[in-house]
Structure 1
Amino acid sequence: MRYLTKSRFKLAAECPRKLTYTGKPEYRNTKQDDTFLQSLADGGFQVGELAKRLYPGGIEVTDKGNAEALAETAELLKRDTVTLFEPAIAYGNLLVRADVLVKSGASLKLVEVKSKSFDPTNPQIEGKKGLLAAARPYIEDIAFQDYVIRSAFPDSCVTSYLLFPDKSRQAGLDQMNQLFKIDRSGPRVQVICDPRADLLSPAEALLFELNAAPYIALVHANGIAAPGGTFSLPEAAKRWAEAYAAETPLPAAIGAQCAKCEFKASFGDRLKSGHAECWKEANNWSDGELTEPTILDLWNYRGKQKLMDQGVRRLAEVTQQDIKFTPGAHGLSNSERQWLQIDGLPVEHKAAGFFLDHDYLASEMDNWIYPLNFIDFETATVALPFHRGMRPYESVAFQFSHHVMEADGSLRHESEFLLAEPGSFPNFEFARALKAALSQNEGSVFRWAAHENTILVHILQQLQSRDDAPADKDDLIAFLQTLITGGARAMIDLKALAQKGYFHPSTKGSNSIKKVLPAVLETSTFLKERYAQPLYGAANGIPSKNFKGMAWWSADELGLVQDPYKKLIEAADSEWVEIEASDEDLDIAAGGQATMAYARLQYEALDDATRASLKAKLLRYCELDTLAMAMVVEAWQEALR
């Protein structure tokens, strides 16, 4: 039987038409990354294993097939008292595999474990108009499970709970993040549990059990609002389950949500595009009509749904009035940037192939002090804390890269830092190494986006509040305060400069460095001449710590400039894969790869060769990030000359 499971219910709540495409290998699915690695990176496996320790004596239903799991669960539930992990419960063609189900006589307690952090002093679940958007998916998830179990056991008293990491609590012991290790050396993944985990009380485990009843009631009161209509939970479950079982496509209810559809294939992809099928059906378009830009492509515009409700589909149909066009006083305004995307480059910029605000960028560059320092951080948020006194999901800064550009244009990879040894809390060592690197000169320091500033503020707070802060904390605090916003040497955000001073049509308005770098490589003669030769990391070339004789500029058989990030991925082995993402999500996606690698180094039993390989990948990827920043500046300097 084709069951509507809780994961498929959540998918249908995003868009019911996705049920047509999910699980079908002929369709492109950009979310089909390694779910094991994702769980490792976001702390899901740790939180899940820790949760089991709070329900001692639990029996795990290990059968993966639905029929076998249902039979095993039914047999175990014949007991008067039993705790089950991953039991299978079905009602008609609805099926759930609950995280935890506790039976005591006629009572059933359902527990859904979430790796998302939660602060019980500030729940942020319900607003004036009902469930908040961020909370809706996991509340509707537990509501669906609650409905299935109540329907399957109408004579039982069912209570439902959500179990979260509680970020309002502090760890009471060191090395919590090392309680669970994994071993993938055999045919099945094995979790190696530290005996200390079995001794933790709920409070010590930093997990909070939330009674979901009032929020489930909201779902039943307000219904499930999905593209195509709002239905009661039973109606939605019935409608979606029947469509999925019969493999009947539900109507294509297109809208602004389509911008994030994972079933979107690029033109020329060997796999089908569910996104394209929906838009062809809803708009009665041909394949050829799909190639023109749509309103979904418009950068940083929140009025897409409103315009779509008015019948607007094409990007070219958007007017200056729609975007409230207003010229910027110093550099491009957001609406000016949007209009460049809609209307194209002004005549005087068409020959160059890009727009560059000479006055704005020149005035900004006049304030720069050489040598220029380009820095990039790799970070993670760790579910279980490293040390006593830390909270779940505190940020961990485990890596940076640092390029230096002199006034004469010479460039070098000056320094780097990586601390990913299991159980080693890196933040203070990170700050110390960054201080050593940037204290070698008094030049301007550059970042790309706000992330680096956020991380330094967090490390500052740790240095100021922790009892175990290092002896040199005052020196580190004084140094970091110079770099953050408002400091004497505050980092300069190149992404903000790109947003206000640079536009290339191929970026579609995005300011992600993963978009801007290929754009400047396409138009810059300087970059072509400098980086087409294998001089990066070569003797008498550009000094590098992780590359030897690398040529970053190259063209494919069609003459198109190749993306250096794709070139780096292709040079790596299959464990470092390209993440497909859109616009501003690109930076997050790339950072996610580093987080996954860091999580493996922390929690997986790896041989020395694999560990060394992952570290080498991290070092190369981070170095490319700061090199990319330098390349963008070189291209801008060339344009200004």
Structure 2
Amino acid sequence: MGNTKKGNRGDTYFTKHLFRAGLQCATKLFYKAHNYPQNREALPFIRHARYNKKLLKSLVRSIYPEGKFIDEGSIAASVAETKRQLEKDNVILFDAVFTHQQMMAKLPVIVKSGDRITAIHIRTKAFSARKHQLLNNRGTINSRWRKYMIDFAFQLHVFKQQYPDCRILPLLVLPDKLGYAQTDALPIQLQPLARHKVASDVSSSNQQLLVKLDVSDPLAKVWEDPAFAEEHFPRATFAKSLDYLKELYLDKEKTKPELGYKCKSCEFRIESKRKASGVKSGFARCWKPTERPDQHEATHVFDLIGPGTKPWIQQGTFYAQDVDAGEIPSVDSVVHGKGRISEKLRQALQIHKAKGEKVPDEIIRPPLIKELRRWKYPLHFLDFEAGNYAVPIRKGRPPYHLVVFQFSCHTLQKDGSWQHHQWIDDLSSGYPNYELIRQLMKVPNIKEGTIVQYSNFERNALKVIRRELREEAEVIPDSQWLMQWIDHIVNRKDSKHPQPPYVADLSRQVKHFYYNSQMENSLSIKDVLQSAMSQSAFLKEKYSKPYRSHNYDDIVWWQPNGDGGAQNPYTILKESSKGAVKRGTEAMVLYGKLIAGGMSKKEKQASRQSLLRYCELDTLAMVMIYEHWKQKMNQLY
């Protein structure tokens, strides 16, 4: 990061990302300057956003085949090359780099014509001219676009220090919700992952996927409006605020944190397991003065499930141990309750547990048992993997349309035997959404018994595909057949209906009728699975033995975690192979890279295998949870 002494800061630069972080909380700049570890939960979402941004950059740049990339190996060399290129009367630059007083800005596209500069800032949030406006009726910047305006203002502020006499047209470029692709397989044509390559053969008509907004007026408000500065900046003006935050970062100074509800989303609030292993936490450092003197590792109210923590923060109750027992239901009232297990009830059990009181290992409400008894064999545990990308893969589709590229299905028979069926797009079917239906139809007895999903995503995805087929019925030869089959599935009732076949939602049973003391503040299938495995002698015995399938060769799913429970199988999956997919957003990013092209045959094979292994574990997880419940049901009833 360079020398910490003022005036000798090496090659450290203040960027728009640091400026935005400082505006959120000036103390964050200290943690960023000292490379404090950040929470990893958001990483897949960040990677997905980066991939979408690469797609959009490639689409914008496709209309400038003569553009020149700036990448000279260092910031100083790139700045020098940018300056040299801008001495020309007419030039188009990609990733032009500008610095001023240890601030650095990079602009994805600069178009110079004489003294006129068109500066393009690309963001991934979709825009609809029918619904959205940058400025509201009061003339202020709408909150959903404010951070983009501040980012762009930073970039152009740095640029203007070096080129004060240029006339600038600032364009904010966003995916247009009302636009649609004019060609199929557009991401492959764009080659977004290819280094320093412009896709010159892409039809210019695909630019209608983008909305390009002149943001001169919003930027002027950021730079010049005292009312905007008073509300959103720590100092009286944009420039003074920029200097203040930049100096904090470069001098690695720590300001006194302003503790509050906003801290709940702090990126330096790292995962509890990492913190327990000794990884330093910026969040913990900020909140340490508030800790109870008799509790080194108190449970913060931010770690409680569900809403309702804001009033506690406002009244100065920061830890579960300090919540007044009179404000929450008693353990007995939760245990002997008959209805749904609400988030407030789960929260109460967390608080009682934090106070050192005895809470039940598990609660299984009778409606869950009733639900399981209504399910008819065979049980088809079904999971889709899907993505939404800023640039559509099919002609006639808007940005971020749903692409379902994979399924896994564990079919469980009454005698306990099972078969696994799977499919993943091989990029040759024409359109994965339609091929998925054709392959699903081949699953034996899929129209019989009960289909089990975790959330209602699979049913909703089928409805989306049915709508697509209806719109393209004339060009898809088997569209009527496919739609009729989808109708048989999506028109099934849920298991409250007196007559099967059903589509059942496992997550709804977890949410309403199942509690496990080890689930804490998460109802995700990953955490529910680990908690069930830790409680279940049946699962321990069965899955301590090697598991074999198309994708796994003798993997052992039940492994001790060293604390009396089971390791999370998704962690075992991650550790079992390099580059393993562990969550749905990672699968989305990986498939995006597959459709972008440029992978070797070996890389494609490895990527497909990672996707297959992950999706199979999702449906196996549902089977395991069901098996645990069924075993408990047999014991209790």
User: Secondary structure of the equivalent of 1:617?
Assistant: helix
| Matching residue within 546, 552, 555 for 1:550 | 555
Tell me the equivalent position of 2:573: 568
Relative to structure 1, the CA distance from residue 195 to residue 92 in structure 2 (aligned partners, 3 Å threshold; closer, same or farther) is closer
* 1:200 partnered with 2:179: no
* Alignment partners' CA distance in 1, 2:148 and 2:569: 38
* Alignment partners' CA distance in 2, 1:114 and 1:279: 34
String of CA shifts for 1:461-506, please: whole Å, max 9, x gaps: 2111125652332232233234347757553221111011112232
Tell me the equivalent position of 1:177: 187
Residue identity opposite 2:400 in structure 1: Y
* Alignment partners' CA distance in 2, 1:305 and 1:256: 6
* 1:629 partnered with 2:629: no
- Using the size of structure 2 for normalisation, the TM-score is 0.86
String of CA shifts for 1:329-354, please: whole Å, max 9, x gaps: 7422232222222224999984x512
CA contact (8 A) 1:89 1:148 kept: yes
Relative to structure 1, the CA distance from residue 25 to residue 149 in structure 2 (aligned partners, 3 Å threshold; closer, same or farther) is closer
Tell me the equivalent position of 1:190: 195
Relative to structure 1, the CA distance from residue 348 to residue 98 in structure 2 (aligned partners, 3 Å threshold; closer, same or farther) is closer
* 1:514 partnered with 2:517: no
* 1:276 partnered with 2:284: yes
CA contact (8 A) 1:418 1:619 kept: yes
* 1:117 partnered with 2:126: yes
How big is the shift at 1:531?
A: 1.2
Tell me the equivalent position of 1:425: 431
Residue identity opposite 2:457 in structure 1: H
Tell me the equivalent position of 1:619: 612
Residue identity opposite 1:363 in structure 2: K
* 1:47 partnered with 2:53: no
Query: How is 1:383-394 mapped onto 2 (pairs within 5 angstroms)?
Result: 383-394=390-401
Residue identity opposite 1:2 in structure 2: T
* Alignment partners' CA distance in 2, 1:405 and 1:167: 42
Query: How is 1:83-482 mapped onto 2 (pairs within 5 angstroms)?
Result: 83-123=92-132, 131=141, 133-181=143-191, 190=195, 193-197=198-202, 199-201=203-205, 204=207, 206-217=209-220, 219=222, 221=225, 222-223=227-228, 232-265=237-270, 266-281=274-289, 283=290, 289=295, 291-301=297-307, 303-318=308-323, 330-344=339-353, 350=359, 353-357=361-365, 359-408=366-415, 410-421=416-427, 424-437=430-443, 439-466=445-472, 470-482=476-488
How big is the shift at 1:397?
A: 0.5
- Using the size of structure 1 for normalisation, the TM-score is 0.85
String of CA shifts for 1:219-254, please: whole Å, max 9, x gaps: 454546999968643333122101011111232223
* Alignment partners' CA distance in 2, 1:228 and 1:112: 22
How big is the shift at 1:127?
A: 5.9
* Alignment partners' CA distance in 1, 2:377 and 2:484: 22
Tell me the equivalent position of 1:600: 593
* Alignment partners' CA distance in 2, 1:261 and 1:569: 26
* Alignment partners' CA distance in 2, 1:569 and 1:132: 41
Tell me the equivalent position of 1:2: 12
* Alignment partners' CA distance in 2, 1:300 and 1:32: 19
CA contact (8 A) 2:36 2:282 kept: no
User: Secondary structure of the equivalent of 1:437?
Assistant: coil
Relative to structure 1, the CA distance from residue 182 to residue 235 in structure 2 (aligned partners, 3 Å threshold; closer, same or farther) is closer
Identity of aligned residues (%): 27
User: Secondary structure of the equivalent of 2:32?
Assistant: coil
Residue identity opposite 1:591 in structure 2: G
* Alignment partners' CA distance in 2, 1:388 and 1:150: 40
* Alignment partners' CA distance in 2, 1:223 and 1:12: 17
Please, which moves more after superposition, 495-504 or 266-275? Answer: 266-275
Structure 2 gaps, min length 5: 1-10, 495-500
How big is the shift at 1:407?
A: 2.6
* Alignment partners' CA distance in 1, 2:61 and 2:545: 56
* 1:66 partnered with 2:75: yes
Residue identity opposite 2:314 in structure 1: D
How big is the shift at 1:385?
A: 2.4
CA contact (8 A) 2:61 2:198 kept: no
| Matching residue within 13, 21, 35 for 2:23 | 13
Tell me the equivalent position of 1:541: none
CA contact (8 A) 2:404 2:433 kept: yes
Number of equivalent positions: 608
* Alignment partners' CA distance in 1, 2:150 and 2:329: 36
CA contact (8 A) 1:403 1:411 kept: no
Residue identity opposite 2:580 in structure 1: W
Measured on the aligned residues, the alpha-carbon RMSD in Å equals 3.4
User: Secondary structure of the equivalent of 1:267?
Assistant: helix
* 1:503 partnered with 2:504: no
